[in-house]
Homo-oligomer: A and B are copies of this chain.
Amino acid sequence: MYELVKRLFPICRSITGNGVRETLKIIHEYIPIKIHEVPTGTKVFDWTVPKEWNIKNAYVEDENGKKIIDFKKTNLHVVGYSVPVNKVVSLSELQEHLYSLPEQPQAIPYVISYYQERWGFCIAHKDREKLKEGRYKVFIDSELKDGFLTYGELVIPGKSEKEVFFSTYVCHPSLTNNELSGPVVTTFLAKWILNRPRKYTHRIIFIPETIGSITYLSKNLKVMKKNMIAGFNVSCVGDDRVYSYLPTRNGNTYTDKVALNVLSFRHPDFIKYSFLEKGSDERQYNAPGVDLPVCCVMRSKYGTYPEYHTSLDNLDFVSPEGLLGSYDVLRECLILIEKNCKYKINCLCEPQLGKRGLYPTVSTKATPKIVRSMMNFIAYADGENDLIDISNRINVPAWKLHPIAAKLMKAGLLTVVQ
């Protein structure tokens, strides 16, 4: 996964334009996503698909012709959606178009201006402080014109039309945790899903943030409301720090139940945020009237780590281990969704496990502990509790209950109720 991050890193993505197209094309080498193009001006709920933005080059040159800011070094140097400019300005005029972070003097900030036309450059504060009085040539070879919003979609059919949903965004330039970790982990999850039998249909989308999810919802809300049983916004899943969780709006959906069970047993030190700290596409999926059960399972959450939205969210910030850990957690959520059901024990009172070789035949002081998980599973397999309820109730991870349930099924002691 880390190799794919490296390959996608240099591309200058924005919410529209060739950066998105190039990114989706590479992802298409891994999984058969379908590419959709939605024209500029299309009404999507309260919003309108904006003009398409593309950029070829950009720099700021001092009086000596030295490029003191150069888009070719990192695409973060240009304010996203900057209009073209080509003129000579004074330092003070230039300053009005510069963005930097005094408290992080080494970092180039990531700045965008989607819905008002302007131009600007981003620069490390330590470099900004070195700028001398004088004339500067500012040059941005960009184009903002009618075009398309581009997104990728993959619907993997299952036995049931009920859907599990993954959404991830492809709209930030050279940023890793808060951009590439999402589509990369999602791509590999899709590969894994494609290669195994499945009960549920899986809907997976690669979209620009906000306008992309709104656009997608405006075209697919009805079917999504009808079929979605659980959904994940995949964002910030690449670094090595602690796991974190942002629940759905009311925090009580099936998605929350699944994700909290997995995180609680796999990574009990995970941070649980409030929905009030939302910030990515879960905002749209959980909006009143939309009400889709979409949560975020993350490593370092957007907005909480100092590298966020700066040039420090780079290839050093994410790691193969960080990506793999997130992949594992999300895959375990998928396995749990696929395997979860309500069980009912077939006999009244406890079954006699001994005659079936499921219980030691000598009773000593230690006996009860040996088979405790199985006995506790049986005690709550009443046809009302599903596997996650039982797991929570008896404090045993779901992955340890799957083999117990299998043994009891084989012995004819257990029935799947639903």
Binding site for B on A (CB under 8 A): 45-48, 79, 99, 101, 109, 111-116, 118, 210, 213-214, 217-218, 221, 249, 275-276, 278-279, 283-284, 286-290, 303, 308-310, 344-345, 347-352, 354-355, 361-365, 368, 372, 375-376, 378-383, 393-395, 413
Contacts and interface: CB of A to CB of B under 8 A. Distances in A.
Nearest to A369: B303
Contacts of A355: 115
Contacts of A372: 276
- A-B residue pairs, 3 tightest by C-beta: A288-B382, A116-B361, A46-B347
Nearest to A80: B363
B221 A112 contact: no
Contacts of A289: 345, 348, 382
Nearest to A47: B352
Given A288-B381, A368-B303, A382-B289, A111 B363 contact: yes
Contacts of A393: 276
A249 B308 CA distance: 48
Contacts of A349: 45-47, 213-214, 217-218, 284, 287, 290
B309 A348 contact: no
A190 to B, nearest CB: 25
A372 B276 CA distance: 8
Contact of A118 (B45, B109, B362): B362
A381 B289 CA distance: 10
